[in-house]
Structures are given as structure tokens and as C-alpha cells.
Amino acid sequence: MRKISLVIVLLFTLVLSACGNNGGNASTTESLTVNIGLLKNVTHAPGFIALQKGYFQDAFGANVKIEVTAFDNGSDFSTAIATNQIDLGFVGPGPAINQFLKSENFRIISGSNNGGAVLIARKDAGIHSVKDLVGKTVAIPTKGSTNEISLRLLLQQEGLKVSTDTSGVQIISRAPADTLVAMRQKEVDATLIPEPWGMQMVEEGTGEVLVDWDKIPPNDGNYPLTLLVASDKFLKAHRDLAKKAIQANLDGIDFIKTHPTEAYELISAELKELSGKGMDVKLIKGAIEHLNLTDEVDLEVIKTMAKVSFDAGYIKDIKEDELDLSKFIDLSLLDEVKQNK
């Protein structure tokens, strides 16, 4: 009789253990840390709001610790997610495409913002049109960035070439904060830069808008500038948490649209946490007005941007007809979130 009781107890214990195993999904394990990355640009505003309002934390639960890493450019972000230093976060398509074609171990899981970069000319540089950029130096945040792709497309539209001498347009990479200083010191003539840096240059009288955000190619400003991506490792182990991250992003987008005044203050607060310095609400308001906050991702636009990166030599060891980005975009989780699955 005692043997039968012991068997019953063991079976009951095994059942409880199986239930607690959650079908192999480790999302509910204790003391899990999720590493989120993003850039210190207002174009990443939905992510800022999701952090400030606690959307990520509330969705993940109390057992999940969130660590945030701020990057100055998308190239560093893309390297970090490809090497599993971060799990998910917000980045532009340019550097993400370049890195994905090397590692193929992370995916776009949602859009966050379309557009929000402007071409600024230094006021005393004698630049009144894009054609005046010949012989001038134009700064972009980093080589292979989304902003460089847009700049190259813009120059192509005007029949201009990129060169290392005065016969064409010279492109150099500078972090946005360094570009601000370089414009003041007349070290660069123009910059294609994400907001709010463009607004800041205009406000302080350093530069003027040469091409506004809604005329920047591709697609007249309606191109992905900020995407939510996640590593394959994280998606495999924590698919449910990835869906919750998507919902936090959607909630951030919605909050900015429905509570803009409060959102400006929260964005400034997050900028202060990420960079040590907040920003004038007036600048943030102007920058937000230059964004098209959306979860949509246009594969054709992504392909156009990949072609520019290929032509510029940033995509190597792959033939043009082998540029397959179909696996780079996985919106199945976004669809499930929208269908409340």
C-alpha cells in the first residue's frame, strides 16, 4: 500500500514539473534579464515612451529585469544584436540590412517610425540647392547608415556623384553631437541627420533646411527610419516576450498620438537618462511633427535601400541578384498581436 502511495506522489510531482516547464518557452523563468537597445534620437520616440511609461516592464512582468543600452549609431547597435549583446531594440534599416546579410541571426518584427531625417546646409556655406553640394562636405551619422542611403539616393536624383575630391560630393561620418559642433566650427558644409538634431541647428541659427523630411528619399520621407528588431536567439526562447515588446511599441506610438504634450516631456526625460541631457520641449515637438509613427514595414522600400548599400560597396561577397531579404522581415508576431492571439 505504501508503494502505491509513493508512485502516486511521484506521478503528481512529475505532472507539476511538466506544467511548470511552460512547453520549453523560458519567458517566465525567474530573474530573466532582457537587454533593449536604441539610439539617442527622437526618431526612436515610441521606444522612449514605452520605457518611460513602463510599457515594457508591465508587459514583461516583475520577474524580468530590463537593461537599456544607448547607441550613437545603428552600426554599433547592429553589431551588438548580431553578437547577442542585446536581445531586441530599435534601429534604422541601413546598418541593420548590412549586418543581417553577414550574420542572418536577427529579424525585423515591427515598424516604429517612418521618416524624420532632414538635409541641413550650413547658413554661410553658399548652398541653396542640392546641386550646390558639389565640392562640399556632407556629414552622416555613420558609414552605411540609413541617412547615408537617403543622401546617396538624393544625389542620384540630382545627377551628382560621391567623390573624395571637389569634383563631387564628399561624405564623411560624424556622430550627430559631433556634427552639431562641426557645423558651428564650419568643418562641414551640410548634413543629412535625424531629428531633433536638424531642428536644433535651425533653432540656433547654425543651419537651414535644404531638403525637408517629407522630400527625403526613398518614397518622399515615408520610408522606415526606425524598426523594432529582435535576435533569433531571443525569438526562439522568448517568443511571447517579443510579442509583448511589439505591444509596448504600439502603445508608445499610440500614446504620442493621443497625449502629445505629455509625450514631449517624457521623451526629454528619456533623452536625459540615455545621454545625460534632456532637450527643449519646443525642439521635441518640432521633431515629432516630422515623424510618421507607424508599425508598417514596406519590403520594397527596404529592397531599394539594400540596393544603394550594395552599389556603395557596403554589402560584400554577395551578388546583386542574391540579395534575399525575405527572411529579414518577420511580421507574424505583429499580426498575432493585432489579432490578440
Kindly report the CA angle at 97 between 217 and 235, in degrees rounded to 5?
125
Q: How far is CA 149 from CA 4, 9, 86, 99, in A?
A: 72, 65, 25, 15
Mean pLDDT of the chain: 90
CA–CA distance, 45 with 144 (Å, rounded to integer): 22
Strands (E) across 16-169 are located at: 32-39, 64-71, 88-91, 106-114, 117-122, 137-140
Is 101 among the domain residues?
yes
Q: Structural domain of residue 124, as residue ranges?
A: 117-215
For the chain, give the percent of residues with pLDDT over 90: 84
| CA 135 from centroid of its chain's CA atoms | 31
- Domain annotation covers residue 6: no
Domain termination residue (choose one: 215, 234, 269): 215
Distance CA 332, CA 329 (A): 9
Q: Is residue 250 part of a domain?
A: yes
Same domain (yes/no): 239, 325: yes
Q: Which of 166, 199, 215 is the last residue of a domain?
A: 215
Give the closest residue to 50 by CA, choosing from 247, 195, 238, 230. Answer: 247
Same-domain pairing of 104 and 159: no
Please check whether residues 127 and 104 belong to one and the same domain.
no
Report the amino acid identity of residue 285: K
70 and 168 both lie in a single domain: no
**Predicted confidence (pLDDT) per residue in 173-229, tens digit:** 999 999 999 999 999 999 999 998 999 999 999 999 999 999 999 999 999 999 999
Among 166, 181, 215, where does a domain finish? Answer: 215
Do 107 and 152 sit in the same domain of this protein? no
Q: CB of 43 within 8 A of CB of 113?
A: yes
Q: Can you give the pTM of this predicted structure?
A: 0.87
Q: How many structural domains is the chain composed of?
A: 2
- What CATH number is given to the structural domain containing 33? 3.40.190.10
What gap in Å lies between CA 77 and CA 70, rounded to an integer? 8
* Grid cell locating 159: 545627377
CB 119 within 8 A of CB 209: yes
Residue 3 within any structural domain of the chain: no
Predicted local distance difference test score (pLDDT) of residue 1 = 40
Share of the chain above pLDDT 70, in %: 91
Is 5 a member of any domain?
no
- Give me the mean pLDDT over the 78-88 stretch: 98
Residue 248 lies inside a defined structural domain of this protein: yes
